[in-house]
Structure 1
Amino acid sequence: MLATVLVATVLPARGVGATVASTATTVAVAVLFFLYGARIAPREAWAGARHWRLHVLVMLSTFALFPLLAFAAQLLRPAVLTPELYQGLVFLCVVPSTVQSSIAFTSIAGGNVPAAIFTASLSNVAGVVLTPLLAALMLTGTGTMTFSPAAIGEIVLQLVVPFAAGQALRPWIGAWMQRRRRVLGLVDRGSILLVVYTAFSAGVVAGIWHRISTGRLLALAAVLAVLLTVVLVATALAGRLLGFSWPDRITAIFCGSKKSMATGLPMAAVLFSPQVVGLIVLPLMLFHQLQLIVCAALARRWGAAGTTPA
């Protein structure tokens, strides 16, 4: 990911190359959401669906607590966060939870894996609709995003239609996809890297690195660390107050505190103009790395302990 950003900084796509990259990104986004739709099977995770209070907690954390914290972060602009970085923070806070890493960390820590599968899948299915709506609600009027009928149509065509097609075809192609996980994983990662390259190429051409200093980057990293800490503590306390078992609390903590870069980056490419999308996705990319480091450490610690921590 960092190498892709470096390549885009040194060799950004310009002119015809930018047009080709933009078209390829549009196709890649559609392919990604088709694959997501074909993979996510909430019915297979039905064993975890009965934990409705856990799922409500994760959904509220993902689509209510995070946006409320982003709203409160208005106090940090412009002294700490530039307008673009604040808008990126808002976008980070409205994307859905991760699927793969949430489930993996839940499993390592000894959490409720069936519930994690269901709630992470539910978050991503809901995010196809909720993320654009929340982004529009919180960012319309900033000049970086518009929510016109044409924009709605573009979102539907690039995100919802491929996702729905994947869901519809899953009974016929699900087994085929299971046999080709490695190849499809390469398609996933390649598509995301293409989105990153296109976004940062447009940003470099528009001069984004001249609009952000090292100090601002460090300040952003500090803000993201505080954001992750607050959500981790909030989900842990909520699970305790609701009387969840320790495995259910693990699931709530990991699924409720994560944000999906794999889903968020393609969405950003659809929702925002090329001139600003590079800065918009920067908070999400940094938060993704931070959450992986912190949650991996927590998962190993709790998995090794094997019991509820004091």
Structure 2
Amino acid sequence: MKIDKFVIAIIISIIVAYFLPQLGASNSPIPLDTIASLGISLIFFFYGLKLSTEAIKSGLKNWKLHVVVQASTFILFPLIVVAFYPLVKDTNQETLWLSLLFLAALPSTVSSSVVMVSLAKGNIPAAIFNASISGIIGIVITPLWMTSFIQQTDIAYDFSAIYLQLGTEILLPLIFGLLLRKYLGTFAQKHKRTLNLFDKSVILLIIYKSFVHSFEERVFSSLSIFDLLVMLFLVIALFFLVFFITGWIGKRLHFSREDSITAQFCGTKKSLVHGTVFSEALFGQTSIMGLMLLPLMLFHAIQILIISVLATKMGEIETLREIEEVHK
């Protein structure tokens, strides 16, 4: 398997943040916060331009599959993590637990979900619908999950400012993008690769800035190698637990092979784009933002590796089955 280039870029961003923090430091002459905010708004403006309203309309028919995917993304994932809250409440591990909840509460990815479903020969229209609608639902649901538990920590948050930032930086640009899709949608689709590169550049900038602030405040000084390994284990365990539960639910509901693949692949993915953007609104005023992104970055690398292997294998099996059917 080839190592994903974006994963490598993330690692490089963290290393640069550690050794060259000057550009992202608090006293930096470069207004990275303003640049990142503008970049976030543009990401969601272009997201609105690229959103396929036709796929959303046609996808409404397969409602059972959509309920399973969205329930897995926004209910099953967080509830698994919340179940362990009593074990960490009022302990030194509560912040690490909060970072896992942040991961669990995020929406699904868009492009990679569709690509992987396509590789495995799943239900592509349903994947497009669920991946697209997930990002919109997440704007509301993800902060609700987080604010329920952030209020119980010792960190001071201005929730009115958080929702104002989400509305102005994310929701309004998304609405403008949807309204202008008729005029600029073709342009967005034509330059899709360039826009994806822009998205990733903004994400890398936010990751760099976040880790600079976390290194400044020595947030990771209390994080041992053992803690990191435990987090990696928990992230992998969380992925496989949700993967097998969604597969079991698909069998119980008698999903077709294509729908089962879509349920498992879309219902287990988490969006790094939305994660970095939401972390700016929820944790941007604190030094723990880098720590909040850590499980998400681990999960991002793991989901790409595991799902790509599974998708390729499933696609090969289905191709062989189709060949056998032709020769019968």
With normalisation by structure 1, the TM-score equals 0.94
Residues 1:60 and 2:39 are matched in the alignment: no
Q: Give 2:311's aligned amino acid.
A: A
The structure-2 alpha-carbon separation of the partners of 1:110 and 1:144, relative to structure 1 and needing over 3 Å to count, comes to farther
Partner of 2:303: 291
Q: Deviations over 1:207-260 (max 9, x none)?
A: 122121111100000011110010000000000000100100000000101100
Equivalent in 116, 119, 122 of residue 111 of structure 1: 122
Residues 1:175 and 2:151 are matched in the alignment: no
Partner of 1:245: 256
Measure the CA separation in 2 of the matches of 1:78 and 1:136. 15
User: Alpha-carbon deviation of 1:186?
Assistant: 1.9
Measure the CA separation in 2 of the matches of 1:265 and 1:130. 16
User: Alpha-carbon deviation of 1:185?
Assistant: 2.0
Partner of 1:3: 12
User: Alpha-carbon deviation of 1:183?
Assistant: 2.1
Q: Deviations over 1:259-291 (max 9, x none)?
A: 001111111011113411000111111111111
Partner of 1:93: 104
Q: Give 1:52's aligned amino acid.
A: W
Q: Which moved more, 1:54-63 or 1:202-211?
A: 202-211
Contact 2:243 2:268 in 1 (8 A): yes
Q: Give 2:132's aligned amino acid.
A: S
Q: Deviations over 1:171-212 (max 9, x none)?
A: 111111122223212211111111111111111111122121
Q: Which moved more, 1:102-111 or 1:143-152?
A: 143-152
Q: Deviations over 1:115-167 (max 9, x none)?
A: 11111111111111111122212332224463532322122111111111111
Where 2:83 maps in the other structure, the secondary structure is helix
Equivalent in 153, 163, 166 of residue 155 of structure 1: 166
Residues 1:130 and 2:132 are matched in the alignment: no
User: Alpha-carbon deviation of 1:40?
Assistant: 1.6
Mapping for residues 41-60 of structure 1, pairs under 5 Å: 41-60=52-71
Contact 1:25 1:198 in 2 (8 A): no
Residues 1:276 and 2:288 are matched in the alignment: yes
Q: Give 2:293's aligned amino acid.
A: V
Mapping for residues 206-217 of structure 1, pairs under 5 Å: 206-217=217-228
Where 1:16 maps in the other structure, the secondary structure is coil
The structure-2 alpha-carbon separation of the partners of 1:253 and 1:161, relative to structure 1 and needing over 3 Å to count, comes to same
Measure the CA separation in 1 of the matches of 2:156 and 2:131. 27
Partner of 1:84: 95
Residues 1:27 and 2:38 are matched in the alignment: yes
Measure the CA separation in 2 of the matches of 1:103 and 1:11. 37
Q: Give 1:65's aligned amino acid.
A: L
With normalisation by structure 2, the TM-score equals 0.89
The number of equivalent residue pairs is 308
Measure the CA separation in 1 of the matches of 2:248 and 2:195. 38
Q: Which protein is bigger by CA-based radius of gyration? A: 2
Query: Unpaired segments of 5 or more residues in structure 1?
Result: none
Q: Which moved more, 1:261-270 or 1:234-243?
A: 261-270
Measure the CA separation in 2 of the matches of 1:203 and 1:238. 40
Measure the CA separation in 2 of the matches of 1:5 and 1:75. 32
Residues 1:37 and 2:48 are matched in the alignment: yes
| Percent identity over paired residues | 34
Where 2:182 maps in the other structure, the secondary structure is helix
The structure-2 alpha-carbon separation of the partners of 1:75 and 1:301, relative to structure 1 and needing over 3 Å to count, comes to farther
Measure the CA separation in 2 of the matches of 1:18 and 1:78. 40
User: Alpha-carbon deviation of 1:35?
Assistant: 1.6
Question: Aligned Cα RMSD in Å?
Answer: 2.0
The structure-2 alpha-carbon separation of the partners of 1:2 and 1:115, relative to structure 1 and needing over 3 Å to count, comes to same
Equivalent in 222, 243, 267 of residue 232 of structure 1: 243
Measure the CA separation in 2 of the matches of 1:153 and 1:132. 12
Partner of 2:5: none
Q: Give 2:107's aligned amino acid.
A: P
Contact 2:26 2:213 in 1 (8 A): no
Q: Give 1:109's aligned amino acid.
A: A
Q: Which moved more, 1:19-28 or 1:203-212?
A: 19-28
Contact 1:239 1:252 in 2 (8 A): yes
Query: Unpaired segments of 5 or more residues in structure 2?
Result: 1-9, 323-328
Partner of 1:222: 233
Q: Which moved more, 1:17-26 or 1:111-120?
A: 17-26
User: Alpha-carbon deviation of 1:46?
Assistant: 3.1
Q: Give 2:75's aligned amino acid.
A: A
